[in-house]
Structure 1
Amino acid sequence: MLIEDIKVSYREIPLHTPFKTALRTATEIESITVTIHLANGVIGKGEAAPTWVITGDSAQSIQAALEGPIKTALFHQDIRHFQTLLTAIQNSCVGNTSAKAAADMALYDAYSKWLAIPLYQLLGDHQPIYTSMTVGVDDPAKMADDAKKWVEAGYSRLKIKVGAKPELDITRITAIREAIPADVLLRLDANQGWQPKQAVQLIQKMEKIGAGIEFIEQPVKAKDLDGLKFVTDHVQTPIMADESVFSPQDAFTIVSGHYADLLNIKLMKCGGIQNALSIANLAMVHRMPCMIGSMMESSFSVGAAAHFASAHPNVIYYDLDAPLWLIEEAEVIDYQGEKLYLSSSAGIGAVNESEK
């Protein structure tokens, strides 16, 4: 069953509310869609979102990789050589993890549609998913109000963005903690915004006041593995590596040296589902749990991540609220409060007629 055509398109999707982190403020996202057309009419879809400050990928570079070396690697190949094609995507060019992720998920989508099963069934079992909701970095009072709003909407886990103006972070967390019930879990994401000693001081203060922090993501710069390990070794709160982990090789370094307690897997960082599986499997061997996260991206690519996460036993944390920040209605995922329901149709979900 040959791949007869590969098409690439571009669109912009506005956010209904600005999304603020220590690295950037987003008011819209760019999304690049790739569709793989099989000879029998089956269409596989994948999407990528450029995030300059994390992956280094732009919309232009994603499109160029998809229309160039990745298309060359897949065009007129047989979908029945599925694993070989997944590897060909990864070997088609250096870097370009977002473009590879889009092509990877399109291939997974096409293959599971060809088999007439949902993607999660191809990958394994299907377990429930409960996402956290993000509170963007802002002044303490605004963040406390936002946190209260999301708790009232039914979220029992909040991801709190910190790291911008670290001197305010204790005040931010104190304000949020005072505004919401004690049983609501807080997950902090510093987005590389702290220095190692500063991170230890801040986290120890939060531990002392009983801030109820479940874990903290990427407190220091991505390349500062010694700093990451310093923080991990000097606090009681679990530390999660995010921007420090792009590839299975990065994951091996983190888990073998115990630079962190947890890993955050994102398809745009690691190049797609194939590498996400490798990272989750590797971490499972070392008894290091994982979270599935996403960039600010479309519901379709987040849906692909959710299929992967729901099927893997070592992915036990979920941060998949990105589509809820977009003005368009989510596809392939049904959000019912904090619980996600995946499409039971074949593949990741249906492809609209306008996208064929």
Structure 2
Amino acid sequence: MKITQIKLYQLNVGLKKPFKTALRTVETAAEVIVKIFTDQGLVGIGEAPPTAVITGETTASICALIASRIRPLLVGEDPTNLEKIHFLIEESAVNNHSAKAAVEIAIYDLLAQSYQVPLFRFLGGYRNSLTTDLTISVNSPAEMREDALTAVADGYQSLKIKVGKNSKLDLARIKAISQAVGPEIKLRLDANQAWHPKQAVYLIRELEKESLALEFVEQPVPAADLTGLKYVKDNVLTAIMADESLFNSADCLRLIKEQACDLLNIKLMKTGGIYNALQINSIAQAAGIKVMLGSMLEAKVSVTAAAHLAAAKKNIVYLDLDAPQLLAEDPVQGGIEFSASKIKLAETPGLGIKEVANLTELSSYNL
């Protein structure tokens, strides 16, 4: 089997309501869709969201890298030569993680299709269903309380609460949600790097004094501040998770060596795809550290790939794959199926994605 063409498309999908974090506010999910064609008629599909505030990538940079650097390397290659393909992608340029992830997801889709098995079975096959949390965007305490109550009424048992814009309000937000939903609902905080270390310790300790049980707090301090991350971890009882501090295996080893966190959040758009994510999970498992599989603001193509990875591996125990549930519509036919917090993986080969509606071909990149 040979790769004959790689084409790029734009997908824009509105959100049910604006997605707000300490880093940004988004009203429309803008995705780059990648399709890889072969001489045997198989087509693999991948996706990358431009997330400049985290990965540094834009739609233009994603498309330019794939069209000018990756496509010339892959056309004519056999996608089943996974090790070779991975390093062709990996060494095409430094960084550019989401662009690489989109292409590699499509490669893994092709690979599993060629063996006529769903990707999660090809990768390990530990389970075929998952449970995700739902993200509560940062807003006023009253609005976040209502959003949390709606999520619980819809069947969600874990809520990921965005905080970080105002310390005083953050405490009010969390208290309002906790009092509204009760102790049976698991609360996860995500500060998106917004706090400094002493501020984070103060806020988390205040919540602990109130007996507001938090499952964990995600990335409380800036990504590069591993000393600060360790300071927070060592001075609170609540588990601390690294997210933006973790892009690759070297980051994983550094976080573990410095004992800077309790948990790790893997995202395909940070790792550059499935290959590196598998390496990170193996290192974490060897160190006795549990992993969450998360996502950016993505549509169902790349979230389906993340779900297949999560279903394949026992050590991935936390899921933050709610992004498609935040969209006003689902343009993707096939792939994973959501029933509120429950995610079901089909037995269809590869990712099982049949079609994506409303795609606009990026003809200037498809020459």
Please list the CA deviations of residues 37-79 of structure 1 after superposition, one character each: whole Å capped at 9, or x if unmatched: 1111000010100111111000000001111111122110012
- Report the CA distance between 1:104 and its aligned residue: 0.6
Residues 169, 107 of structure 1: alpha-carbon distance in 2 compared, 3 angstrom cutoff: same
* Counterpart in the other structure of 2:29: 29
> Which residue of the partner structure matches residue 187 of structure 1?
188
**Partner of 1:52 in structure 2?**
52
2-structure distance, mates of 1:351, 1:65: 26
Contact 2:301–2:353, Cα closer than 8 Å, also in 1 = no
Shift of residue 350, structure 1, vs aligned partner = 2.8
CA distance in 1, matches of 2:35, 2:151: 35
> Aligned residues, how many?
356
Counterpart residue number, 1:72: 72
**Corresponding residue SS for 2:306:** helix
Q: Any unmatched runs of 5+ in structure 2?
A: 362-367
Task: Please state how far the C-alpha of 1:88 moved relative to its aligned partner.
Answer: 1.3
How far, CA to CA, are the matches of 2:173 and 2:33 in structure 1?
38
1:8 maps to 8
Taking the TM superposition and a 5 Å limit, the aligned residue runs for 1:129-278 are 129-278=130-279
**Which residue in 1 is equivalent to 2:364?**
none
State the shift of 1:200 in Å.
0.2
Q: Which residue of 2 aligns with 1:333?
A: 336
Identity %: 44
SS in 2 for 1:214: strand
How many Å separate the matches in 2 of 1:148 and 1:201?
A: 27
**Which stretch of the first structure deviates more once superposed, 330-339 or 317-326?**
330-339
Structure 1 residue runs without a partner (length 5+): none
Distance 2:315 2:10 in 1: 34
Mean Cα deviation higher: 272-281 or 87-96: 87-96
Tell me the CA shift for residue 182 of structure 1: 1.2
Structure 2 residue 311 is matched with structure 1 residue 310? yes
Structure 1 residue 353 displacement after superposition: 8.2
Structure 2 counterpart SS, 1:62: helix
How far the C-alpha of 1:351 sits from its partner, in A, is 3.3
Alignment CA distance shift 1:54-1:284 (3 Å) = same
- Distance in 1 (alpha carbons) for counterparts of 2:346 and 2:20: 30
TM-score, length-scaled by structure 2: 0.95
**Distance in 2 separating the partners of 1:96 and 1:267:** 12
Give the AA of the match of 2:243: D
Post-superposition shift, 1:80?
2.9
The answer to whether the 8 A contact 2:6-2:35 is kept is: yes
Does the CA-based 8 Å contact 1:125-1:310 persist in structure 2?
yes
Q: Structure 1 residues 54, 110: CA separation in 2 closer, same or farther (over 3 Å shift)?
A: same
For the 8 Å contact 1:46–1:106, the answer to whether it is kept is yes
